[in-house]
Structure formats: C-alpha cells, structure tokens
Structure 1
Amino acid sequence: MGFTQADYEKFRILRVTHVAKRFDELIADESNDALLPEQLFLTAADDALAERAANRIERAVKAAGFPIPGASIAEVDYRDGRNLNPVAIGRIAATDWAMTVRNLLLISPTGGGKTYLACAIGMAACHNGHQVAYMRMDQLARRLTIARGDVIAHQKLLSDLAGVDLLIVDDFLTVAIDSEAASDLFSILADREHRAATIIASQTGPAQWAIDLPDKVAGDSIVNRIANNGRAIQIGGVDMRQVRSHEVADAL
C-alpha cells in the first residue's frame, strides 16, 4: 500500500518528501521484491540526494548567467598552439573557491577561446557547489549605470558581485568604461580582495589595463588587486572560432 496524502503532509513538514516519493516508487517496482525495506530506503535516500544536488547545480548555473552553459572542462581543446596544459586546467577546475582567493587571468586574442574556458571553469565551480557570477565588462558597466539611479539597488548589485564565491568578468576593457564604472569596479574588487577569487578574461594584459582605465590612481589600484594576487594564462593565438567553423563545414 502506498503513502496517503496525509503521509505526504508529514513528509513535507519533515522535509523528506523526495525520499518518500522515491521509496514509494521503489516499493511499487516488482523488480525490487527481493530487496529488504532498509535497502530500498537507503536507495531512495541516495536518489533524493542526487536529485537535490542536480537541482542545486541547475539553479547555480542559471544564476551564473553563462553565455555557454554547455561549456565543459572535458571538452577543452588542448591542440598545439593553444598553450594550455590539461593538468593545470584540471587543477583549476577542481579549485575550492571558498578557500582559494587567488585570481585567474585568461589572456588571448579575439577568437582564442577564453570565453569558453572561463565558462567551463565556472561550470565546474557550480558543480562543486560554488556560487558563480559571469558578466561581460560591457554588461557589468551597463548594469552599474542603471543601478546607480537607485541607491539601494546600486548597493545591492555591488554587494552581490562582491559576495559570490567566484566572479568572472569577460571581455575586460574590450570597450572603454567611464570613471564611475571604474570606481564601482574598484569597490567590488576591493571588497573581494583576500576574500574571494575573480577570473578576468581579456584580449590584453595588466600593463594595457592600467593605460585604458580612465583614472590613473583608481586604475593602478584595480590592476594591482587583480594581477598581484593572480595567475595568468596566456592562451595561444589559434583562432578557435575559425577552427569550429571549419569543423562544422567539414561535417556537412
């Protein structure tokens, strides 16, 4: 006999509804008749935990806002010319971002695959239980400008970006930002310094950032906070967009 609605109300109060439903399904499956109730209950508990973990990962990935939500470390291309070490990338993907506060700089020319790699690392972080936020620099600047009209919304955005386990800023300084956006960026990075890690993906490196940032003093502070506690990976000049385009054409 299965559980009643009253039973499920008890399970809901105890927050074990998923376990109960799975246990009910396993009991009803005739192929499990030879198994003890204790075995079925433990299986139901394991299945419910796996479902909960999958849902948590799905929520984390959605909240992160990745432009390539299917990016995977397993699919990173390590061909000659990309200057990527699979062992090093694997270690980065396995990083405990709640404990590690070292920044990561991904530098490559246009089409080098830095966005895919950043998303793959971010996806791995979500799977490992971390809170991640991804933004292109132009998106970040635009959101900061809009939020600046509301003091509470502005402060919440700054706090949210400062508080995530891993912040990914892509296309860093590909387009110019104004002094107010630079000031907000400084605030975010200052709050994250020695507390949370940031991944910066850019076509240029720290020396050029210091030139491109509108305010010399704030610019130096921003660059120092990113680079002095960071590891840089200079991705090779292989144009991955062109490679993928040729692969698609060859497959047709």
Structure 2
Amino acid sequence: MAKAFEEQRRSPDLEALPFEDRIGLLVDREAAERDTRRLTTRLKIAALRQTACVEDVDLRTPRGIDRAVFAKLVEGRWIDRHENLLVTGATGLGKSWLACALGHKACRDNRSVLYHRVPRLFEALALARGDGRYARLLKSLGRAQLLILDDWGLSVLTRRGTPRSARNPRGPTWPRIHHRHKSAPVDTWHGAIGDPTVADAILDRLVHNAHRLQLTGESMRKRSAKTITLDGQPEH
C-alpha cells in the first residue's frame, strides 16, 4: 500500500480523485499483491513438472477430451469432494501436461497442490523410512488438497513399497521402462503393485472413485514435429 501511495503522489490524475476512491485503489493493490505472493508460494511448493495452464489446452486436436467433462474438471469441485482423476493414454498425448495444467488451476483457486513422479516418490519414501522422516513425509502428502502422481506403473512395487524394475529386480531402469509402461492401461495396474492384497486395497480406493480422461489419437510431439522443418521454420 505504501508503494501504491507513492505512485499516487506522483500521478496528478490520481491526486484529483476523492479520498475514498484513492483508499479503495490502495486496498485493491494490497489485495492483488497478497494474492500474487500466495500463488507464487503455492506454485513453488507444488513443484509442477511443466508450466501449463488450462486456458492453453488444445481442445481442437482430437484426443478424446470431452469439452463438458474437461470444464467440470477445471472447475475443481471434484477436488473438494475428495474424488480422483485418472489420465491415461499412449505416450506423447499430453497426460503430464494436462495434469500440470489442472494443478496450476487448483493453485490459482487457492488449493494446495503437490506434484510427484511416482518412481522418485517411492525412493524418497524408502529413504525417509530409514532416517526417521517417514511419518513427516506422509503428513506433508496428506495435507495437499490435490496430489498429482505422474509416471505411475513404470515399475513393480515390492512388499515394502519400494519400486523395482519389472525386467531387473535388482534395481530400477527408468528410461527404458518409461517408454514401455507409460501408457499402461488401468486393467494392468493390479500387476504393477505386486502384492495382490495391497493391490486390491489401493485400486479399490483409487479407481472406483475416479473420473477418467482416456486420451487417444496421434502423439502431440509427432504432430508438432510434422509442422516444423529442420531449420525450425514452419512448413507451408
């Protein structure tokens, strides 16, 4: 408000305004600055993988996104109702981008958001279990109103909840597994969890209370590549 007041003093046009109007401008400026700072903090904590906004989502390209359904998701009431959203489809269709766009909108709507890649999250949980931070990490995850879990199904879980590669039980090989399993359909998730009892419990809570975006069509990366020549200029 002090900064806005100094700007008013340097503006002859604003000096002519009634006192009440000038006070109103100061209050509006303070409110806007506070909202901006809070949004900046929420986005920093969310640590979204990509800078994406729902306003930039391409709904013209056929990917199986129903406009009415997407509008409801953007509205965000499903978050308040503690419902889930599953975004599935082949590699390159923009699953991570859409998830980050919805996360960005949730931050703008004053909701707390956390983004995690599942393989790295499981590694962090395993380390936290060993150094005494496990309960604290679980508490921080539980506080988020929207928890975005990306790259689910890249590895099979062990009984202790740590990931192992489906091909290499001794350790993960994320880049190779990423391309094979990123588009894994929901009906294969049971096998990715490993323990049948744990799988039943997780999927019962996750799948049956979830909205779904099943993306289809051609890879967005391939589509973009077709319009750009080797020198970076659009084709005509």
TMscore range, shorter length:
0.7 to 0.9
In the alignment, structure 1 segments of 5+ residues that lack a partner are 1-18, 184-201
Q: Does 1:232 align with 2:212?
A: yes
**Does the 8 Å contact 1:112/1:238 carry over to 2?**
yes
RMSD: 1.9
Q: Distance in 2 between the 1:245 and 1:68 partners?
A: 19
Structure 1 position 121, deviation (Å): 0.4
Q: Distance in 1 between the 2:211 and 2:185 partners?
A: 12
Q: Distance in 2 between the 1:231 and 1:38 partners?
A: 48
Query: Which residue of the other structure, out of 94, 98, 103, is the alignment partner of 1:113?
Result: 94
When normalised by structure 2's length, the TM-score is 0.84
Moved more, 117-126 or 94-103: 94-103
Alignment of 1:41-120 (within 5 A): 41-69=23-51, 71-96=52-77, 99-120=80-101
Aligned to 2:129: 148
Aligned to 2:172: none
Hey, which bits of structure 1, 4+ residues long, moved more than 4 A?
A: none
Question: Amino acid of the residue matched to residue 204 of structure 1?
Answer: A
**Does the 8 Å contact 1:60/1:126 carry over to 2?**
yes
**Deviation string for 1:25-74 (max 9, x for gaps)?**
213322212111221111111011111111111111111111112x0111
Q: Distance in 2 between the 1:237 and 1:219 partners?
A: 30
Question: Amino acid of the residue matched to residue 157 of structure 2?
Answer: I
Larger proportion of helix: 1
When normalised by structure 1's length, the TM-score is 0.79
Q: Distance in 1 between the 2:145 and 2:208 partners?
A: 19
Matched residues, number: 214
In the alignment, structure 2 segments of 5+ residues that lack a partner are 164-181
Structure 1 pair 247–61 and aligned structure 2 pair: CA distance change class (3 A): farther
Aligned to 2:234: 251
Q: Distance in 1 between the 2:126 and 2:147 partners?
A: 19
Aligned to 2:10: 28
The DSSP-based 3-state class of the residue aligned with 2:114 is strand
Sequence identity, in percent?
29
The DSSP-based 3-state class of the residue aligned with 2:91 is coil
Query: Which residue of the other structure, out of 138, 154, 159, is the alignment partner of 1:179?
Result: 159
**Deviation string for 1:72-99 (max 9, x for gaps)?**
1111122343001223212211214662
